[in-house]
Amino acid sequence: MAAAGAVTTVAASYVPRTRDSFLHLLSKAVTLSHLTELHAQLLHNGFQSDIATTTKLTHRLFDFSAVHHARSLFFSFPEPDRFLCNVLVKGLASNESPRSAIAAFKRLRERKSIDLGPDNFTYAFVIPAAASVGDVKVGISLHGQVIVGGFCSDLFIGSALIDLYFKLGRDDMARKVFDEMPERDAVLCNTMVSGLGRSSRFEDSIGIFRRMSEKTLASWNAMISGYAQNGLTEAAVSLFQEMQMSNVSPNPVTITSILSACAQLGALSLGQWVHGLIKSNKFDSNIYVSTALIDMYAKCGSIVEARRLFESIPNKNDVTWNAMISGYGLHGHGQEALKLFHEMVSSGTPLTRITFLSILHACSHSGLVKEGEQIFKSMKRDHGFEPISEHNACMVDILGRAGKLKEALDFIEGIPGDPGTPIWSTLLGACMVHKDTNVARMASEKLFESDPGNMGYYVLMSNIYSSDKNYPGAAFVRQVAKKRNLSKTPGCTLIEIHQKPHVFKAGDWSHPLSRAIYAELERLNGKMKEAGYQAETMTSLHDVEEEEKELMVNVHSEKLAIAFGLLSTEPGTEIRIFKNLRICLDCHTASKYISRVTQRVIVARDANRFHRFEDGVCSCGDYW
């Protein structure tokens, strides 16, 4: 307030008479009204034709996002020079007007009064504008102009072109620009590493990163983020630890990337260690870091800690609310998610499509059919959002999980155009739950036609046939998959003991404690059967004896991980496991019995949600 008052006093009591005095006051102005007043004085004193004051005023107007005023001032100037033109293009591009920046650039090139063409700064400003709007034609044209103008060796332009081509999906051209640069600095390499990290050629970025003589914080961040985004979570964690040993201090971008990796991996202890790092670096006040922490705790099974953090944030944004609502949905706490959703509406925080996706997921995992239908209708009616494929899939899931398969089919028929693979896939999953072979056959035909290379659909359909004792049908589906050379994604389960991850596969004997693990599993099976447990073998191969079917399900990865957890922790310790696929019916049932006979709480996160098993009961209420 003192600064603003000072400028007002100066502007009111002193009328500048020289160009230098105008330039000084323009640089000191802290409000748009001050700039407007100075502009009036500039005109009154006859400085409207002075290039220096016009350039400074244009620059400061863009600082206050007065885009229309700045553009009008520029085009009223009779003889703009190259520097003023660059101020215009940069100002438009940085004020979220990239199309206007491109239009202005084209208009300037056509003006005969400007005898100086674009320079390296002009292209460094306009190329990112073309990248942000994804305009292929303009991007290629600009690259051609760069070549003709002789700016190919400019590092800033090179970085801008590489980023442009990655955003246009032309990874080959990005690599060509990079390879042809006569010199490379850290910025250029970072742009290349970051672009490859977002593309299908992520492996190439690893080599570039390792060859970099000067690794900046941006370099480390690009690689860690790339690993996390490509599902290479263990590599992201390993690289983060390497960065720590290299004495490179993280920033909020690093922290959000590594928290994302922890969330995917289910590495709670590592996430807690990162939380300590956040406190020591005073990143707590960063809203994006806080939101990433909420997401990490929720996805690692600590929903109570996630809510505690959520409540501690004074100024929540929509992403923060969405993360907490999504976390409740993941844990099957539909009523809590609904309550929070209504609190978000009352708070005045803008709702987004992600908000509706999060709350609809929560409704589907908790059997809240009526509530889900009401929210889906209100999305367009009250908030103006047209549902996209993901929202429609949620509604099919809500109806399908509740056994309302006819209503789900009616809903799909009401979707304009092709419903899409995710919707038919969701319906097929519901058919597995409710053993509806007829609807499943219809859904699978759509999926086999639209996505014939996805083995998951063949596995689901085969299991549905097996559950219905239609073994010829199951065998036929498996045969089709075999002819297409498809293979099933191997199921695996992770458990973290003393901050070290242990991964198990079905029938796994690779662990050093395998003998003890299998002995513990055999002991558990005996106690479970005494308590009434019977193995679920309906989806197993029909040409295998019943005893052999039991042996097959008894060595699933979930059970091996739980047995190892029981052996490796003190009595009463909570067991936490993470499965990469949907937990099978038998392992779900077995986990309930294990929790009862061992008096342990078992928390399992599968591909869909969390299950908390305690004293023979699951938090999902067997609704999953």
Give the model confidence (pLDDT) of 279-338 as tens digits: 988 898 899 999 999 999 999 889 999 999 999 998 899 999 999 999 999 998 999 999
Eight-class DSSP state of 603: E
Number of Cβ atoms within 10 Å of the Cβ of 581: 18
Q: What is the pLDDT of residue 8?
A: 40
Backbone angles phi, psi at 367, to 5 degrees: 70, 25
Residue 505 three-state SS: strand
End-to-end CA distance of the chain: 57
Tell me the pLDDT tens digit for each residue of 120-141: 888 888 998 988 888 888 888 9
| pLDDT of 115 strictly over 70 | no
Whole-number Å distance between alpha carbons of 393 and 413? 13
Q: What is the pLDDT of residue 539?
A: 54
Tell me the pLDDT tens digit for each residue of 523-536: 999 999 999 998 87
Number of Cβ atoms within 10 Å of the Cβ of 515: 10
Q: What is the pLDDT of residue 113?
A: 53
Tell me the pLDDT tens digit for each residue of 234-245: 888 889 989 988
* DSSP characters over 538-575: TTS-TTS-HHHHHHHHHT-HHHHHHHHHHHHS-TTPPE
Q: Which amino acid is at 8?
A: T
CB neighbour burial string for 185-215, b if at least 16 within 10 angstroms, e if fewer: ebebbbbbbbbbbbbeebebbbebbeebeeb
Q: What is the mean pLDDT of residues 431-438?
A: 88
The pLDDT confidence band at residue 377, using thresholds 50, 70 and 90, is very high
Backbone angles phi, psi at 603, to 5 degrees: -110, 120
Q: What is the mean pLDDT of residues 435-452?
A: 91
The residue among 179, 155, 176, 180 whose CA lies nearest residue 165 is 176
The pLDDT confidence band at residue 547, using thresholds 50, 70 and 90, is very low
Q: What is the pLDDT of residue 545?
A: 41
Q: What is the pLDDT of residue 546?
A: 39
The pLDDT confidence band at residue 50, using thresholds 50, 70 and 90, is confident
Q: Do the beta carbons of residue 325 and residue 358 sit within 8 Å?
A: yes
Q: What is the pLDDT of residue 427?
A: 94
Q: What is the pLDDT of residue 16?
A: 55
The pLDDT confidence band at residue 552, using thresholds 50, 70 and 90, is low
Whole-number Å distance between alpha carbons of 339 and 417? 34
> Which residues, other chains included, contact 458 with Cβ-Cβ below 8 Å and sequence gap of 6+?
448, 477, 478, 480, 481, 486
| pLDDT of 540 strictly over 80 | no
| pLDDT of 345 strictly over 90 | yes
Q: What is the pLDDT of residue 568?
A: 96
The pLDDT confidence band at residue 40, using thresholds 50, 70 and 90, is confident
Tell me the pLDDT tens digit for each residue of 578-613: 998 888 888 999 999 999 999 999 999 888 888 999
Tell me the pLDDT tens digit for each residue of 150-206: 888 888 899 899 989 888 888 889 889 988 888 888 788 888 888 887 776 777 778
Instruction: Note every long-range contact of 339-348, with CB atoms under 8 Å and residues 24 or more positions apart, other chains counting.
Output: 341/375, 344/318, 347/316, 347/321
Dihedral-angle region of residue 420 (phi above 0 means left; psi in -120 to 50 means alpha; beta otherwise): left
> Which residues, other chains included, contact 138 with Cβ-Cβ below 8 Å and sequence gap of 6+?
102, 130
Look-up of token digits 């209503």: 407
Q: What is the mean pLDDT of the chain?
A: 86
**Among residues of the chain, what percentage have pLDDT more than 90?**
41
Q: What is the pLDDT of residue 111?
A: 65
Look-up of token digits 């593309």: 199
Whole-number Å distance between alpha carbons of 382 and 364? 21
For 71, 169, 201, the CA distances from 162, given in Å and listed in that order, are 29, 11, 14
In which order are the strands placed within the sheet that holds 617-618?
A: 500-505, 492-497, 575-579, 602-605, 610-614, 617-618
Eight-class DSSP state of 216: -
Tokens of 539: 């989806």
The pLDDT confidence band at residue 112, using thresholds 50, 70 and 90, is low
Q: Do the beta carbons of residue 237 and residue 265 sit within 8 Å?
A: yes
| pLDDT of 513 strictly over 90 | yes
Tell me the pLDDT tens digit for each residue of 217-260: 888 998 898 888 877 888 888 899 899 888 889 999 999 999 99
Q: What is the mean pLDDT of residues 499-512?
A: 90
Query: Of the segments 115-119, 269-273, 494-498, 598-602, which one has the largest average pLDDT value?
Result: 598-602
Tell me the pLDDT tens digit for each residue of 20-33: 877 888 888 878 88
* CA angle (102, 186, 195) in 5-degree steps: 55
| pLDDT of 554 strictly over 80 | no
The pLDDT confidence band at residue 341, using thresholds 50, 70 and 90, is very high
The pLDDT confidence band at residue 565, using thresholds 50, 70 and 90, is very high
| pLDDT of 88 strictly over 80 | yes
Name the more confident of 206 and 617.
617
